[in-house]
Amino acid sequence: MLNMANDPEPFSEKLRVPEALTFDDVLLRPRESTVEPDEADTSTMVSRNVRLNLPVLTAAMDTVTEGDMAIAVARHGGLGVLHRNMPVEATVAEVERVKRADELVIRDVVTASPDQTVREVDDMMNQEGVSGAPVVNEDGEVLGIISGTDIRPYLEVGDRDKVHEAMTDEVITAREDVTPRNALELMYEHKIERVPLVDDENRLLGLITMAGILQRREYDMASRDEDGHLRVGVAVGPSETDRARAADEAGADILFIDCAHAHNRSVIEDARSIKREVDADVVVGNIGTREAAAAVVDFADGVKVGIGPGSICTTRVVTGAGMPQISAIAQVADVASQHDVPVIADGGIRYSGDAIKAIGAGADAVMLGSYFAGTDEAPGRVITMQGKKYKQYRGMGSVGAMKSGGGDRYLKDEQEDDELVPEGVEAATPYKGTLESELHQLVGGMQSGMGYVGAESLPEFKRRAEFVRVSSAGQQEGHPHDVVITDEAPNYSPDGQ
């Protein structure tokens, strides 16, 4: 057939195609180094205003990130992005849960009144899961403090005695602006575990506990906002203004515009108007080309890259469209880096080596789904199949996830089941234990990669990284070969699971 479209270019020219590569096509070229991997600094900007100690995000998927995962990953220095297959009120509750998790000052204090009986207070403390409570009068003034030790039977306190008879009435209190160090000194000095915070009139404002202070010290890499609360990201649909506003008000640090193809005029307009309305940073995704990056860098606080690389994605086979991931990252980073807009590489990362290659190709951070879906902190139960333990992992474009409300990510209207055109599958992934040990393997491998390239920090790594192309023979050589693997390594399995 002749080309009738008045197009001077023959169709066959369309097949003179540029090459696009992915993780297995390249390796980092080793360079002279003086860097000890353990000392390599992995801190990074993940959006214009948010810095993380680890360049790692957990995917906004209903089998990966809810409050538990977000709390765990933020405590260790990364960021969880809450999925959006839940009502807006649930999003708000999850954001608040993360923000309260390592709160130094407890605002929602369980209190006792002086006229309650010892038995009533004991029941109440058991129910609320606390081991002590400030005793306050009707005006909120602190009269004393009552704890398990005050009401144990051997102290000869009767069940029906009143709280004011059993409480300790010499209370050590502090002002609201007390530093953690001073609060801890007070606790050691007076051999107590909690200090009520009061105003000028001795009215209760909050409570600071030894457990809270020590926990905070344990997580010294944690991602925290200016008030010391853990950071959290929230996925919002491009037209979900309500969720965006509510999450922003609840204190979300970054909103992630969650769309499979964000290089779409109405998605960009929606994202732009969300950005105008919120205080949180707004990351726009997913994209995979220079032109898409150019279309959003004037307002986006970050961009997320990934058109079909995910382990559960069928976008490329269903739609015929996509961009091999490492080329997509590099193309987007070409443009985004000129505007100081951080780039997040989302999807397709099976090994720590893939993650550090993504950064070498221009990403500032990586987002992973399947890598973390098998951990304790991911939603869902552990299931056993043929003697092995698994957890469910499904694409947000799978039938099951779309039925629970995620269809508009794929720019689809609500439809009957048999009319859905899924772009993902439902699967199971091996159970892996704690997030902490998975993160340790991931980041440890990335730091070793920095060592091979001789870079002490991620910006330096991005400058120094050079790639070589790998043939299929080279790929085979790069995996264990000509042996029978007898023991599982914590960071390697032949199929990347």
Residues at the interface with ligand XMP (CB under 6 A): 59, 61, 260, 286, 306, 308, 310-313, 315, 346-349, 367-371, 395-398, 423-424
Angle value at C-alpha 72, between 444 and 365, nearest 5 degrees: 50
**Could you tell me whether strands 382-385 and 388-394 are parallel, antiparallel, or unpaired per DSSP bridges?**
antiparallel
Q: Hey, which residues does 457 pair with through a beta bridge?
A: 41
Q: Which residue, 312 or 435, is less far from ligand XMP as judged by CB? A: 312
Residue 221 and residue 76 in contact, taking contact as beta carbons nearer than 8 Å: yes
**Least CB distance to ligand XMP at residue 318 (A):** 8
Catalytic-residue membership of 313: yes
Distance CA 441, CA 478 (A): 19
Nearer to ligand XMP, 83 or 464 (CB): 83
Q: Which is nearer to ligand XMP, 57 or 453 (CB)?
A: 57
SS3 at position 333: helix
Minimum separation from the CB atom of position 275 to ligand XMP (A): 20
Min. distance of Cβ 338 from ligand XMP in angstroms?
24
Identity (one letter) of the amino acid at 390?
Y
Spatial separation of the C-alpha atoms in residues 175 and 169, rounded to whole Å? 18
DSSP assigned state of 54: S
For residues 100 and 74, what is the distance between their CA atoms, to the nearest angstrom? 13
Nearest-approach distance from CB 126 to ligand XMP, in angstroms = 41
The single-letter DSSP state of residue 432 is: -
Q: Using CB positions, name the residue nearest to ligand XMP.
A: 424
* Identity of the residue, 238 or 369, whose beta carbon is nearer to ligand XMP in the bound complex: 369
Residue 242 falls in which region: left (phi positive, over 0), alpha (psi -120 to 50) or beta: alpha
Cα separations in angstroms, 33 against 79, 445, 449: 30, 16, 11
Provide, rounded to whole angstroms, the least separation between the CB of residue 346 and ligand XMP: 4
Measured from the CB atom, the residue of 305 and 333 that comes closer to ligand XMP is: 305
Q: First CA to last CA across the chain, in angstroms?
A: 47
Q: How far is CA 130 from CA 10, 71, 142, in A?
A: 76, 21, 18
Torsion angles phi and psi, residue 82, rounded to 5: -65, 135
Residue 460, both tokens: 């330096």
Smallest separation (angstroms) from ligand XMP to the CB of 248: 21
Cβ proximity to ligand XMP, 109 vs 318, nearer residue: 318
CB of 421 to ligand XMP, least distance (A): 11
The single residue listed with the structure tokens 């929230």 is: 234
Of the candidates 421, 426, 382, 423, the residue with the CA atom closest to the CA atom of residue 400: 426
> Considering beta carbons, is residue 180 or 379 the nearer one to ligand XMP?
379
Give me the catalytic one of 313, 350, 394, 464.
Answer: 313
Burial class (CB in 10 A: 0-12, 13-18, 19+), 87: exposed
Instruction: Verify cis geometry, omega within 30 degrees of 0, for the bond prior to 286.
Output: yes
409 belongs to the catalytic site:
yes
Bridge partner residues of 385 (DSSP)? 388
Closest approach, Cβ 340 to ligand XMP, in A, equals 23
Nearer to ligand XMP by Cβ, of 22 and 33: the residue is 22
Q: Which helix (H) or strand (E) holds 134?
A: strand 132-136
In the β-sheet with 204-209, what is the strand arrangement from edge to edge?
Answer: 105-106, 204-209, 194-198
C-beta atoms surrounding 448 within 10 Å: 16
Of 302, 448, 285, residue with least CA distance to 364: 302
Q: CB-based contacts of 486: which residues, under 8 Å, 6+ apart? A: none
Phi, psi of 355 (to 5 degrees): -65, -45
Q: Which is nearer to ligand XMP, 149 or 437 (CB)?
A: 437
We find the least distance from the C-beta atom of residue 420 to ligand XMP, in angstroms, to be 11
Nearer to ligand XMP, 78 or 395 (CB): 395
Give the shortest CB-343-to-ligand XMP separation in angstroms. Answer: 14
Query: Which residues are marked as active site?
Result: 313, 409
